[in-house]
Homo-oligomer: A and B are copies of this chain.
Amino acid sequence: MIEGMPLAVPGVRLASVAAGIKSSGADDLVLIEMEEGTHCAAVFTRNAFCAAPVTVAREHLHACANKPRYLLINAGNANAGTGRAGVRAAQACVEAVAVATDVDVVRVLPFSTGVIGEPLPVPLITAALASALSALTPEGWAGAAHGILTTDTRAKTHSVAFRCDGRDYVVTGMAKGAGMIRPDMATMLAYLATDAAVETTVLQQLLDHCKERSFNRITIDGDTSTNDACVLLATGAAGNELLSNPELPLYPALCAAVEDVCTVLAQAIVRDGEGASKFVTVQITGGRSEDECLTVAFTIAHSPLVKTALFASDPNWGRILAAIGRAGLPDLQVEAVTLYLNDVLIAEYGGRAEAYTEAQGAAAMATDDITIRVALGRGDAHATVWTTDLSYDYVRINAEYRT
């Protein structure tokens, strides 16, 4: 595992330019080029009002048999809620890439993030394509990670290098948040690439596994975006024999690397959540099923009262118990439930633990990273989600978002 700058992935080149969509003048258009033969897996939002680029990207990915050559990503405008005109706008952008690069249009996938409901400024995007094409470089990850941001305050990238059967591989990814984050399939936008050669269905199986344990375990505000997308590219530049069987040793090694990159990126989205001042791990154990553990975890993570208490560093554990109690678990025995803040035992037998003192709770809440641990005492299942607090700044950012 490598800290610091993201590692280049042989077979992938990236460029980030300012097309003028963001009024700030910051980079807002990213182009990713994959070499011929790259396999692609992707997951998209399950929001019924999915954005126009999601519709087009899904169709194109299918039409090109999961072998796209270009990803075109703009920030500052989500091209969502724009109806049929939005679909035509997304198509016009990828058509311009196809013409400039002489590839079939279905081998270009569009992605957008930003304000919902505004027409996509197609001329700005097509006018910036030439400079994006000439700026493509294998070292472009860090720049591209900046170019896809909206209300995020920092770029999010991560790389893992590993060796399997005597061959070296790399996995690099980037992602952006930072509001409307409760991924139901993938996060807002995340792009990962590896130089391993992986057959498409195996690649999709691997991505499905990894996103379920990373991006689908985070929430900032419970609002699932219209534009969520997560893409995993496998260029094959490492030269291995095409991985077409998950029983081979490369599969678990690659899976671990991809899950690691996904988890680091997902947690980075939470740490950079709108107005976030705390990073909160909600860990549920002792459930009858993973599903009921997730239900309890997300009920706690979405509770405005728990989130405002976290913001205030107030160990108001009664609000956590209240959230557990309203999560709708059948036959929940409150006497069996145990609650910890970090390592401090707060509540058991339906009430405050006898040895607990407010000073202990206050000390636990004063840390920037907090773990809320709930033992349900009714089974062996467990699940963890990551979230953040609800601060004045969350309200300010979202009240002022379009001004």
Contacts and interface: CB of A to CB of B under 8 A. Distances in A.
B391 A318 contact: no
Interface string A304-330: 110011011010111101111110010
Contact of A351 (B50, B84, B394): B84
A246 interface: no
A116 interface: yes
Interface in A352-399: 352, 390-392, 394-396, 398-399
| Number of copies of this protein chain within its complex | 2
Contact of A222 (B83, B303, B329, B395): B303
B351 A308 contact: no
A115 interface: yes
B395 A329 contact: no
Interface residues of A, number: 65
Contact of A352 (B78, B83, B115): B83
A107 interface: no
Interface stretch (A91-99, A163-171, A223-231): A223-231
A316 B308 CA distance: 24
Interface string A126-145: 00000000000000000000
B309 A116 contact: no
Nearest to A46: B326
A197 interface: no
A167 to B, nearest CB: 42
A123 interface: no
